[in-house]
Structure 1
Amino acid sequence: MMSPTHVATGLAVAAAVAAVDPALVTAAAAGGVLGGVFPDLDLFAGEHRKTLHFPVLGWIPVLVAVPLALVAPGPATVGLAVACLTAATHAASDVLGAGEELRPWERTNPNAVYCHACGRWLRARYVIRYDGAPEDLLLTVLLTAPALVVFEGPVRLVALGTIAVGVVYAAVRKRVVRYFEPIVD
Structure 2
Amino acid sequence: MMLPTHALVGLAVGAPLLWLAPESATAALIGGLLGGIWPDLDLYVGHRRTLHYPTGYSLAAIPAVIVAAVVGSPPAVGLAAAVVAAAGHCQMDRYGGGLELRPWENTSERAVYDHVAGEWRAPKRWVRYDGAPEDVGLSLLVGLPLVAVMPPTFRWLVATTLIVAVGYGLLRRRLASLAPVVADTVPDPVVEYVPERYRRDEQ
TM-score (norm 1): 0.95
The match for 2:154 is 155
The amino acid across from 1:115 in the alignment is D
Matched residue of 2:130: which SS? coil
In structure 2, how many angstroms separate the alpha carbons of the residues matched to 1:147 and 1:69?
23
1:87-166 equivalences under 5 Å are: 87-166=86-165
The match for 1:40 is 40
TM-score (norm 2): 0.87
The match for 2:12 is 12
More relative contact order, 1 or 2 (CA 8 Å, 6+ apart): 1
In structure 1, how many angstroms separate the alpha carbons of the residues matched to 2:171 and 2:26?
31
In structure 2, how many angstroms separate the alpha carbons of the residues matched to 1:148 and 1:47?
34
**Cα offset, 1:64, TM superposition:** 2.0
CA offsets, 1:92-148, max 9 Å, x none? 111100000011011111211111111111111110010000100110111123422
Matched residue of 2:112: which SS? strand
In structure 2, how many angstroms separate the alpha carbons of the residues matched to 1:178 and 1:74?
48
Computed over aligned residues only, the root mean square deviation of the Cα atoms, in angstroms, reads: 1.2
Bigger shift: residues 19-28 or 132-141? 19-28
The match for 1:61 is 60
8 Å contact kept, 1:59–1:85: yes
The match for 1:21 is 21
**Cα offset, 1:78, TM superposition:** 0.9
The amino acid across from 1:92 in the alignment is Q
**Cα offset, 1:150, TM superposition:** 1.9
Larger Rg: 2
Bigger shift: residues 114-123 or 15-24? 15-24
Matched residue of 2:55: which SS? coil
Give 5+ residue unaligned stretches, structure 1: none
* Percent of aligned pairs with the same amino acid: 42
The amino acid across from 2:59 in the alignment is I
Matched residue of 1:111: which SS? coil
Bigger shift: residues 17-26 or 35-44? 17-26
8 Å contact kept, 1:12–1:146: no
8 Å contact kept, 1:112–1:121: yes
Give 5+ residue unaligned stretches, structure 2: 184-197
In structure 1, how many angstroms separate the alpha carbons of the residues matched to 2:22 and 2:141?
22
The match for 1:73 is 72
The amino acid across from 2:129 in the alignment is Y
